[in-house]
Amino acid sequence: EVQLVESGGGSVQPGRSQRLSCVASGFIFDDYAMHWVRQTPGTGLEWVSGLSWNSDSIAYADSVKGRFTISRDNAKNSLYLEMNSLRPEDTALYYCVGSRCSGGTCYFEMWGQGTPVTVSS
Partner 1 sequence: SSELTQDPAVSVALGQTVRITCQGDSLRSYYAAWYQQKPGQAPVLVIHGKNNRPSGIPDRFSVSNSGNTASLTITGAQAEDEADYYCNSRDSRRNHLMFLFGAGTKVTVL
Which 43-62 residues touch partner 1, going by CB under 8 A?
44-47, 50-52, 57-59, 61
Contacting range for partner 1; rule: CB under 8 A; set: 14-22, 24-32, 71-79, 96-104: 96-104
Answer for which of 78, 84, 111, 116 binds partner 1 (CB under 8 A) is: 111
Contacts of 84 (CB under 8 A, 6+ apart): 17, 67, 68, 69
Q: Does 2 bind partner 1 (CB under 8 A)?
A: no
Rg (CA), the chain: 14
Answer for which of 33, 64, 81, 119 binds partner 1 (CB under 8 A) is: 33
Burial class for 10, CB neighbours closer than 10 Å (0-12, 13-18, 19+): exposed
Closest CA to 115 of 26, 2, 1, 38: 38
- Interface with partner 1 (CB under 8 A): 33, 35, 37, 44-47, 50-52, 57-59, 61, 95, 102-109, 111-114
